[in-house]
Amino acid sequence: MISEAFHLGADYFLHKPFGTETLLEKIRHVAKRRHLALLRDVGQLEFKITAILRELGSPAYMKGYPYLRYGIVLVVLDVRLLDAVTGELYPAIGEKFDVPGSQVERCIRNVIETTWKHGDRQVFQKFFGSTVANRSGQPTNSAFIATLADQLRLQRSYGNGPNK
């Protein structure tokens, strides 16, 4: 039964009877482990996103660059944020960087616009496919973030794939 519980995703188990203090101690221990794992995961995501943005030609010196990177991290971790980009995603980024959501949106748009104008078309083709082939306009902020986040979510779920 214990091995089945772990197979189904349990992080810990306690034998009955146990006291409230023991339960709280185990909850704190598991929460700390999960928090550390999440921090490692976010760090790895930021590293991968940075590599992708560099490959695309995004200028790291622009104010919106860290906003864009953090926004992609947030969407990889919770795709539902794409349903409320203006109402939830931009404010969450703004909260981290202590700026208003409207400034986040403008700064991210500026990075994407600069990247789209000056970046390598072959690299864009690799990540954005038909959007580049059809020579349509630059993607919106949410389309840009969604495309890269989708790629990273798939890598997390099924391995590194072709775009490591």
Outline where DSSP puts E strands in the chain.
none
- Expressed as residue numbers, the domain containing 96 is 43-158
The number of beta carbons lying within 10 Å of the beta carbon of residue 77 is 16
pLDDT tens-digit readout, 22-71: 888 888 777 777 656 666 777 788 889 999 999 999 999 999 999 999 99
Q: What is the pLDDT of residue 164?
A: 42
Structural domain contains residue 76: yes
Structural domain contains residue 133: yes
As for how many domains the chain has, the answer is 1
CATH number for the domain harbouring residue 92: 1.10.10.10
Structural domain contains residue 122: yes
Structural domain contains residue 78: yes
Structural domain contains residue 6: no
- Give the chain's largest Cα–Cα span: 66
Structural domain contains residue 3: no
Q: Is 52 helix (H, G, I), strand (E, B) or coil?
A: helix
Task: Write the CB contacts of 141 (distance below 8 Å, at least 6 apart in sequence).
Answer: 85, 105, 108, 109, 112
Is the pTM here over 0.85, yes or no?
no
Structural domain contains residue 5: no
Q: What is the pLDDT of residue 21?
A: 86
